[in-house]
Each structure stands twice: as C-alpha cells, then as structure tokens.
Amino acid sequence: MTTLTFPRLRLEIDGAVGTLALAHPEVLNAISPEMLEGLLAALDAVEDPAHGLRCLLVTGEGRAFSAGANLGGDGPSTRTGDVGAVLETHYHPVFRRLRELPMPIVTAVNGVAAGVGMSLALMGDMVVAARSAYFLQAFRRIGLVPDGGVTWLLPRLVGTARARELSLLGERLPAERALEWGLINRVHDDAELLPAARALATELAAGPTRALTLMRRLYWASPDNTYEQQLDLERRSQREAGRTRDSREGIRAFLEKREAKFRGE
C-alpha cells in the first residue's frame, strides 16, 4: 500500500482502489481552499495511469464525513467576500472533475455530511453510510443557498418535495431515512462501514472499468436528455464498450463458463 499526502487529505493506494480521506478532523473535515486545491492534486494522482486505479473511495477522517465549507478564518468566502466567485474558482473544478472521473466513485459517509460536504457525499455512484451518520442542508442556517450541484442532484434523487424540505428547513436526515428515501445505497453499523465500503470498492475496481465509466456518464446525462437523445448516447457508448478488451473477455468467459478477468482495458 502506498500513501500520498496532500493538504488536508490522504490518498491510500491499495491495488486498484484509491481511498481518499478528508483529513482535517479538528473541524469535522470542513472544506478549505487548501483542501480544495489538495483535492485537485489528489485527483491528478487518482487519474495517473501509473497508479492503475479503477475505483475511488472517498471518506472522512475522525467522526465526520465533512461539515461543509470551512467557516473559520481560512474559509474561502472570507478571503474574497464573493461567495459566488469562490464556487467557480474553488469548488466547481473539483465537482466537475469528480463527475468526469474515469472510474466509479464510492463515498463512505462515516458521520455528518453537511452543506457542501453533503454535495460531495452525493457524488458517489454508490453512497454508503454509517448508521449514526446524517445529512444536513446546513446552508439556510447561515443564510446561504445549497451549492456543489446539490439542487440539481437532490430533486432527481428524492423528488422535489423532499429536496425543498431538506433545504428550506435544514433538519437532520438520518442515514436510515436517507436509505428509505433512495438518497443513498446502503447503511452499515458504524464499525462495519469502512470494511464494507472497501469490499464494494474492490468489487467495482475488478469490473470492466471502461464500461462502468460509460455507465456513469449515461446516468449523469440521462436527466437532461430526451428519450431519443438517450437512445443515441447508449448507441455511441455501446459502440465504445463493445470495442474494449474487457467486453471480448466477458463474452469469452461466458461461453467458457468461467469468471471473467477484467483488466479495465
């Protein structure tokens, strides 16, 4: 296992799984400009072919996933006074990179995911949470609006009524209810969260990575596309998937009645 450190972040590389931990537990992993810059650098490492990563697992160090933007002295908006500009310069590049990442993302929500920390948690293709974790649209408590793409994601995941309620009231959403609502995929006992998330990430990392990446692009595109546009995107994606070595291997393995050995090629 190799560990790379970035400002307020730690990236552990174990086989084809990269585990990226937000590492500023004293402030519940609140997100600062340093951490955002670290995130971009860490994503460069995640995408570096030399590391051979095929799944990214994101979690938080300590008792929180992330308490959202760092509201203390090193918070982004306190530097410029223009919170909108801070989103464009600091947050959006990270969220766009995650959306485009050429591998599946698992987020392991080990504790509170508040504000833009909740937006980050929901960037997982698979979101798994500890039983004691909760989600919090904290923005209204400090007179801000939801960000990090969550007003796009939330209504699509849980419906407009629930999305509005979460944002307007800013009440805690416990992990169990988030699961009932279809916001997240799985809930585990606290001690089981990381082993379960790692097992899931390992399974995804052993999959046909290029097809999985095309799948995540299809689902990101789906809400904005018409049925016809989506049929067309499926056609183009399938053409690409059908040309991969992993697709040929999958079909060969089926015919030979054995497990496929995918290589992400």
Site residues (vs ligand T3D, CB under 6 A): 27-28, 30, 67-72, 75-77, 83, 86, 112, 114-116, 136, 138-139, 141-142, 144, 147
CB of 187 to ligand T3D, least distance (A): 19
- Give whichever of 48 and 82 is closer to ligand T3D, judged by the CB atom: 82
CB of 142 to ligand T3D, least distance (A): 5
Q: Which residues contact 170 (CB under 8 A, 6 or more apart)?
A: 136, 137, 138, 139, 140, 141
Nearest to 40 by CA among 92, 2, 80: 92
- Give whichever of 15 and 25 is closer to ligand T3D, judged by the CB atom: 25
Distances (CA, A) of 221 to 29, 127, 193: 30, 19, 30
- Give whichever of 116 and 175 is closer to ligand T3D, judged by the CB atom: 116
Rg (alpha carbons) of the chain, rounded to whole number: 19
- The per-residue DSSP string of 143-200 comes to T----TTHHHHHHHHH-HHHHHHHHHH---EEHHHHHHTTSSSEEE-GGGHHHHHHHH
With CB atoms as reference, the residue minimizing the distance to ligand T3D is 115
CB of 79 to ligand T3D, least distance (A): 9
Exposure string for 173-209, b = 16+ CB within 10 A, e = fewer: bebeebbeeebbbebbeeeebbebbbebbbebbbbbb
CB of 153 to ligand T3D, least distance (A): 15
Amino acid, res. 250 = G
CB of 238 to ligand T3D, least distance (A): 38
- Give whichever of 32 and 213 is closer to ligand T3D, judged by the CB atom: 32
- Give whichever of 76 and 208 is closer to ligand T3D, judged by the CB atom: 76
CB of 31 to ligand T3D, least distance (A): 7
- The DSSP 8-state label assigned to residue 119 in this structure reads H
CB of 74 to ligand T3D, least distance (A): 9
- The answer to whether residues 32 and 181 touch, using CB atoms and an 8 Å cutoff, is no
Instruction: Record the tokens describing residue 185, joined without a space.
Output: 């995929």
Quote the CA–CA distance of 138 and 144 in Å, as a whole number: 9
- Give whichever of 98 and 201 is closer to ligand T3D, judged by the CB atom: 98
- Give whichever of 115 and 208 is closer to ligand T3D, judged by the CB atom: 115
